[in-house]
């Protein structure tokens, strides 16, 4: 992941990490709770530009000399490349972001997984608020934190966005040139999917209903009603649960990936608030995506994934160097 280089170094490192993860499979693929004896993990907290606390974990390869005195296992004196890893929309760092960060640290990257503002252990109230500008800012704030570590090379910091965070890292990279390379995995454009649904299945009337519901909920909350939540992962499976909901349930509501941060309760996890959800209607992360060039972008998508349309859209708009895997 060298400045001005091609996509290949990031692509190969990321894919190597993913292929190693697949070997863990536990019948479903990568083990979400995988840990590595090659990596040291530490909890961290830092402030974004809005002075809101962001919670995260930093994953440091044991080969990295953290103290400049030969304490790395290979006695390395070279600053390491680094990555910020964003979790899926509605998830927290313990759900897939920690795994990606661990696997990339095994490849030699210092990596940060972070809780987006209003989620997990990060600041912001009310919890579960949709705030795409704040999400992008948190990614840049994580770059700030990495750049203050003496063992990190400031010229080799990139970002990985998983699911919804794919659109957040692109949003951040458009206005933060310190993010030298971007990779997304199973990316959702959270703006487009909110406006249009999957494969543009959402009608204009349904969009109006969403706005009206959120607007009335704001009145209700001003008048003292409890905060209402919507969407996210089904809490229970019913005969009406669609295939996408069942896949989400299989991860977020079972031991495979279920996690409840100390700041919330199980029935709140993954569900954004009704009143804040329309903020995604104004979120257009792929507009001007071509301005990220000449920094490279890698899009990874399953060839049968229902979210594939978003990676293909972003790829078609991005400028070279770019890769759709």
Domain boundaries, the chain: 39-204+281-324
Query: What is the pLDDT at residue 71?
Result: 47
Return the minimum-mean-pLDDT range out of 59-73, 104-118, 201-215, 278-292: 59-73
Query: CA–CA separation, 70 vs 228, rounded Å?
Result: 53
Q: Stretch 121-144: mean pLDDT, rounded?
A: 98
Query: What is the pLDDT at residue 2?
Result: 36
- Close Cβ partners of 230 (under 8 Å, ≥ 6 residues apart): 271, 272, 273, 274, 277
* Tens of pLDDT, residues 165-224: 999 999 999 999 999 999 999 999 999 999 999 999 999 999 999 999 999 999 999 999
Question: Any idea what the Cα angle at residue 311 is, between residues 305 and 316, rounded to 5°?
Answer: 135
Query: What is the pLDDT at residue 22?
Result: 37
Whether residue 8 is predicted with pLDDT greater than 60 in this model: the reply is no
Whether residue 21 is predicted with pLDDT greater than 60 in this model: the reply is no
* Tens of pLDDT, residues 230-268: 999 999 999 999 999 999 999 999 999 999 999 999 999
Query: CATH topology for 39-204+281-324?
Result: Rossmann fold (3.40.50)
Quote the mean pLDDT of the chain.
Answer: 90
Annotate 146-207 with DSSP letters as a single string: HHTSTTEEEEEEEEEEETTHHHHHHHHHHT-TT---EEEES---HHHHHHH-GGG---HHHH
Whether residue 24 is predicted with pLDDT greater than 90 in this model: the reply is no
**pLDDT class for 30, splitting at 50, 70, 90?**
confident
Query: What is the pLDDT at residue 276?
Result: 98
Q: Stretch 33-41: mean pLDDT, rounded?
A: 96
Return the minimum-mean-pLDDT range out of 25-29, 75-79, 215-219: 25-29
pTM of the model: 0.90
Whether residue 3 is predicted with pLDDT greater than 60 in this model: the reply is no
Q: Stretch 57-67: mean pLDDT, rounded?
A: 93
Query: CA–CA separation, 171 vs 153, rounded Å?
Result: 23
* Tens of pLDDT, residues 139-158: 999 999 999 999 999 999 99
Whether residue 25 is predicted with pLDDT greater than 90 in this model: the reply is no
**pLDDT class for 26, splitting at 50, 70, 90?**
low
For residue 18, the surrounding DSSP H or E stretch is: helix 8-22
Contact 142, 121 (CB under 8 A): no
Whether residue 1 is predicted with pLDDT greater than 70 in this model: the reply is no
Query: What is the pLDDT at residue 78?
Result: 74
């Amino acid at each position: 992941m060298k400045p001005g280089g091609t996509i290949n170094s990031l692509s190969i490192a990321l894919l190597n990490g993913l292929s190693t993860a697949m070997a863990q499979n536990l019948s479903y693929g990568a083990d979400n709770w995988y840990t590595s004896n090659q990596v040291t993990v530490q909890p961290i907290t830092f402030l974004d530009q809005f002075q809101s606390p962001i919670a995260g974990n930093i994953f440091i390869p044991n080969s990295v000399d953290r103290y400049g005195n030969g304490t790395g296992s290979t006695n390395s004196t070279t600053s390491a490349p680094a990555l910020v890893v964003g979790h899926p929309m509605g998830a927290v760092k313990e759900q897939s972001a920690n795994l990606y960060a661990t696997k990339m640290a095994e490849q030699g990257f210092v990596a940060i997984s972070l809780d987006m503002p209003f989620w997990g252990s990060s600041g912001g109230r009310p919890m579960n608020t949709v705030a795409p500008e704040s999400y992008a800012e948190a990614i840049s704030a994580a770059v700030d934190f990495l750049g203050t570590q003496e063992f990190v090379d400031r010229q080799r910091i990139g970002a990985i966005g998983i699911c919804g965070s794919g659109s957040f890292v692109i949003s951040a990279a458009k206005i933060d040139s310190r993010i030298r390379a971007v990779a997304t995995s199973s990316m959702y454009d959270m703006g487009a999917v909110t406006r249009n649904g999957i494969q543009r299945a959402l009608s204009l009337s349904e969009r109006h209903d969403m706005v009206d519901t959120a607007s009335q909920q704001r009145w209700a909350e001003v008048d003292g009603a409890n905060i209402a939540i919507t969407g996210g992962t089904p809490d229970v499976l019913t005969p009406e649960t669609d295939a996408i909901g069942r896949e989400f349930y299989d991860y977020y509501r079972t031991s495979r990936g279920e996690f409840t941060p100390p700041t919330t309760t199980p029935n709140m996890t993954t569900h954004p608030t009704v009143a804040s959800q329309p903020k995604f209607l104004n979120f257009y992360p792929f507009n001007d995506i071509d301005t990220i060039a000449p920094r490279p972008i890698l899009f990874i998508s399953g060839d049968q994934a229902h979210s594939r349309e978003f990676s293909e859209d972003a790829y078609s708009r991005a400028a070279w160097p770019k890769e759709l895997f």
